[in-house]
Amino acid sequence: MKRDFLSLDDLSAAEVSALLARAKILKAERAAGRRHPVLAGKSLAMVFEKASTRTRVSFEVGMFELGGHAVCLDREGSQIGRGEPIADTARVLGRYCHGIVVRTFAHSRAEDLARAAPVPVINGLTDRCHPCQVLADLMTVNEVFGDLSGLRFAWIGDGNNMAVSWICAAGLLGLDLILACPPGYRPPADAIAAARATGRGRIEVTGDPARAAAGAHVLSTDVWASMGQEDEATARAAAFAGFAVTSELFARADPSAVVLHCLPAHRGEEITAEVLDSDRAVVWQQAENRLHVHKALLELLLG
């Protein structure tokens, strides 16, 4: 029975812990120059209907380092752009490849692809969520603090796909999460309800960034206009005034606090250059960890 990874809660809490532990081992082994060609002879198709730097390169390099191969398709260069149904694309790719990564707009499109695909499908970002990124974020927090428990997580900005995956993580792993979002840009109510229904963790949504930052150990933010929302950028910049991660806001956090940003970042918008380029921002480590968690995920689903 194939397994997809479309949302963080497609894994159990124990599986997330095991995956993060495995990613840590793979990171150390890589640093020592050791390779694990456990996916030799296997191929991964990557369907990217939106731009990507980190997700695309880390999956491609990850497959290479595991002894496999990755092939990337975008809309324009494939028949997807000429209207071939995503389900037909999935059926065909599943005949060549052992797994598919998809980055697309509507989450339902990734679900349609997964339903039709005979092989595991991994969500490389949809409008709804970005679970691979939050795996890397959790790994980074573990590296910094040694543990996820007892930490206060703050999300500052848009209640977007990244916020939804953090909410999902809070319900799955029992995190203490507070999100500060302007009115009209709060995370989807059903995501919050689903996470609260697990009975684990604590999720609060506020309109006050200072309240969210107070005592936080991890401050996360993301762009104010996500891919596909470029036309809304001006209206969003106005709505998000006061929601930038600045040194003043960061000063309210716990003295041990770190800043996460999935990248790409817009210095001077959602985060100041001073914060992003400070040693409290662990964003390069966070970006690197995409590679290690993707390798652990590929081993789990395709191995």
Residues in the chain: 303
Q: What is Dmax (Cα atoms) for the chain?
A: 54
Strands 152-156 and 176-180: parallel
Q: Active site residue: 4, 112, 158, 222, which one?
A: 222
In angstroms, give the least distance from the CB of 290 to ligand CP: 7
Where on the phi/psi map is residue 229: left (φ > 0), alpha (ψ -120 to 50), or beta? alpha
**Cα three-residue angle 161-242-256, rounded to 5 degrees:** 75
In angstroms, give the least distance from the CB of 132 to ligand NVA: 10
Q: Active site residue: 103, 217, 292, 294, which one?
A: 103
Cis peptide before 188 (omega within 30 of 0): no
Q: Which stretch binds ligand NVA (CB under 6 A): 5-13, 30-38, 221-229, 247-255?
A: 221-229
- Choice between 16 and 262, CB closer to ligand NVA: 262
According to DSSP, residue 66 is labeled: T
Q: Is 162 in the site for ligand NVA (CB under 6 A)?
A: yes
Q: Which residues are near ligand CP by CB under 6 A?
A: 52-55, 125, 133, 262-263
Q: Is 262 in the site for ligand NVA (CB under 6 A)?
A: yes
In angstroms, give the least distance from the CB of 284 to ligand CP: 12
Q: Is 161 in the site for ligand NVA (CB under 6 A)?
A: yes
CA dist 187 → 13, 165, 183, 223 (Å)? 22, 10, 10, 14
Residue 88 annotated to the active site: no
Q: Active site residue: 107, 290, 292, 294, which one?
A: 290
Residues near ligand NVA (CB under 6 A) are 125, 160-162, 222-223, 226-227, 262
